[in-house]
Structure 1
């Protein structure tokens, strides 16, 4: 994959995760409020974080978007 292709995909993935962040579900909103209001706020959770999953043999990169992600422990929380 060329550098230009990577940045095009990155912009697409980021814009998609931004849309998800702006349209959170009630459950996601409730958890976000709980995290903000408790001692957990010391932890920096990312919301709607794109995560690289794998690269197919054809060279296509696959990502998923985690509802909440804490990088130091690589904790992913999915609420659906």
Structure 2
């Protein structure tokens, strides 16, 4: 293994966020330098008279209001950025 020459810089721990827009679940992970956490919710979005619903609440709308439901959110995003 080749060794680097020059001044050593201190390692700094920053904040990191990861988002996975999956077909079944949307997940987010957060790291703030010391702690980490993650969460997941069903990949559903529904449009109702009350506003926009996401996750489990939107999934429950599927039988009542199927025409206003979006299930594959990641397919609506551009393929290249």
Flag the structure with higher strand content.
Answer: 2
> What is the TM-score of this pair, normalised by structure 2?
0.27
Q: Comparing both chains, which one has the higher relative contact order based on Cα–Cα distances under 8 Å and sequence gaps of 6 or more?
A: 1
Larger radius of gyration: 2
